[in-house]
């Protein structure tokens, strides 16, 4: 985030903090500080009540045997240590296998959705920002429309599009192919490609070993056909939102730089690669980060469209956490899944930040 902060405006000189701390309350600076705290108190209290407290409660539930009845802090609830995490991470069984499957499904979802939606959003933003394009306002609105529409309506629309006799299969039929039974097809796309190449059974090395209760062969299944439909939906709805983040960043690129490049004889691709893209790095970082976090937390489309079916190939950790808590009343385990997901997101975001800032440092030297 440093990249962004630096652009927000001048920071206080580093010494200011130390000077302020020594000032007593009755000086002007001190009174200012007190007033500042007072003014921000409502927000701080709201954050504590609605953000910090629920997270702390969930953390407690994840190491307790709370059964969903009454307060988690009542006397009948006991701490069980890491038992809920152990059942998910180290003990072979259905909970571990389902966590493994949900992570696999979500991983493929992220790997496809994040790059495609980012590229699409950037492409749309570049097109829409052209000064010569007629009806720019119309296109901007049109591309942003899916993001404004309720995800419930969009999900139901996609249920029809990807139905057995839906629009998608009608188009494939017109082109002479036969569309799959989209939302009921649990076969992994990579498995389908492999079987097309004649590989139908797993090599022993892949079938007999695995991670988190899922064999390596199944880890390599790829997203299921049903998941592809949900991936298409996610890309279609969010590309417009991220286009809106890219747009002002593109407008903010000073035109004199572009003009100078033109004078130097740079072609369109060179201008994009050497000027536009580097200037868009902060926006790109924001879009990638938001995309990464959002895709790992995917819940509503799954809830509305597939409920984890077919054969658990659209199960995601967020939906699994919900199912474990509300359907199976295993609240501790459900909360533990949420924290495992939280850890994954934090680690990936930090890794992403390191990669991007490393590149930046590399360029600067």
The DSSP 8-state label assigned to residue 183 in this structure reads: G
Binding letters toward other proteins, positions 56-95, x by CB under 8 A: -x---------xxxxxxxx------------x-----xx-
* 172 near other proteins, rule: CB under 8 A: no
Is 101 within 8 Å of 219 (Cβ atoms)?
Answer: no
Single out the residue of 281, 285, 283 nearest to residue 273, CA to CA: 281
Binding letters toward other proteins, positions 200-239, x by CB under 8 A: ----------------------------------------
Cis peptide before 310 (omega within 30 of 0): yes
**Alpha-carbon span 67 to 70, nearest angstrom:** 9
* 267 near other proteins, rule: CB under 8 A: no
Judged by CB, which is closer to other proteins: 224, or 241?
224
Is 216 within 8 Å of 206 (Cβ atoms)?
Answer: yes
Residue listed under structure tokens 């039929």: 173
Helix or strand (DSSP H, E) at 167: helix 167-174
> Tokens at residue 151, please?
């995800």
Judged by CB, which is closer to other proteins: 165, or 364?
165
**Alpha-carbon span 49 to 53, nearest angstrom:** 5
How many residues sit close enough to other proteins to count as binding (CB under 8 A)?
45
**Alpha-carbon span 188 to 193, nearest angstrom:** 9
Binding letters toward other proteins, positions 9-28, x by CB under 8 A: ------------x--xx---
* 184 near other proteins, rule: CB under 8 A: yes
Judged by CB, which is closer to other proteins: 327, or 365?
327
* 312 near other proteins, rule: CB under 8 A: yes
* 270 near other proteins, rule: CB under 8 A: no
Query: Where does this chain bind other proteins (CB under 8 A)?
Result: 21, 24-25, 30, 33-34, 37, 41, 44-45, 48-49, 53, 57, 67-74, 87, 93-94, 98, 163-165, 181, 184, 186, 308-312, 323-330
């Amino acid at each position: 985030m440093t990249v962004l902060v630096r652009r927000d405006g001048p920071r206080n000189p580093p010494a200011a903090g130390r000077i302020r701390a020594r000032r007593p309350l009755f000086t002007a600076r001190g009174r200012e500080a007190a007033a500042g705290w007072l003014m921000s108190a409502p927000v701080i209290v709201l954050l504590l009540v609605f953000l910090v407290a629920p997270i702390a409660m969930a953390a407690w539930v994840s190491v307790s045997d709370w059964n969903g009845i009454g307060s988690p802090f009542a006397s009948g609830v006991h701490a069980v240590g890491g038992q809920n995490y152990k059942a998910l991470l180290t003990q072979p069984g259905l909970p571990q296998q389902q966590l493994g499957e949900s992570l696999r499904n979500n991983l493929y979802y992220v790997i496809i959705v994040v790059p495609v939606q980012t590229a699409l959003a950037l492409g749309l933003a570049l097109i829409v920002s052209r000064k010569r394009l007629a009806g720019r306002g119309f296109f901007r609105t049109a591309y942003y429309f899916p993001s404004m529409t309720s995800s419930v309506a969009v999900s139901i629309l996609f249920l029809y599009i990807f139905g057995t006799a839906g629009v998608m299969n009608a188009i494939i039929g017109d082109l002479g192919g036969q569309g799959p039974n989209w939302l009921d097809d649990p076969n992994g796309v990579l498995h389908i490609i492999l079987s097309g190449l004649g590989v139908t059974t797993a090599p022993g090395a892949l079938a007999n070993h695995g991670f988190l209760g899922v064999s390596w062969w199944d880890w390599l299944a790829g997203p299921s056909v049903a998941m592809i439909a949900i991936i298409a939906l996610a890309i279609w709805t969010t590309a417009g939102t991220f286009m809106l983040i890219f747009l002002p960043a593109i407008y903010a690129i000073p035109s004199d730089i572009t003009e100078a490049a033109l004078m130097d004889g740079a072609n369109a691709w060179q201008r994009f690669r050497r000027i536009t893209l580097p200037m868009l790095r902060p926006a790109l970082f924001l879009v990638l980060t938001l995309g990464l976090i959002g895709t790992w937390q995917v819940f509503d489309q799954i809830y509305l469209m597939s409920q984890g079916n077919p054969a658990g190939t659209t199960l995601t950790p967020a939906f699994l956490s919900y199912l474990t808590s509300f359907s199976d009343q295993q609240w501790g385990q459900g909360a533990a899944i949420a924290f495992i997901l939280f850890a994954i997101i934090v680690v990936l975001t930090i890794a992403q930040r390191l990669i991007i800032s490393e590149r930046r440092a590399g360029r600067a030297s």
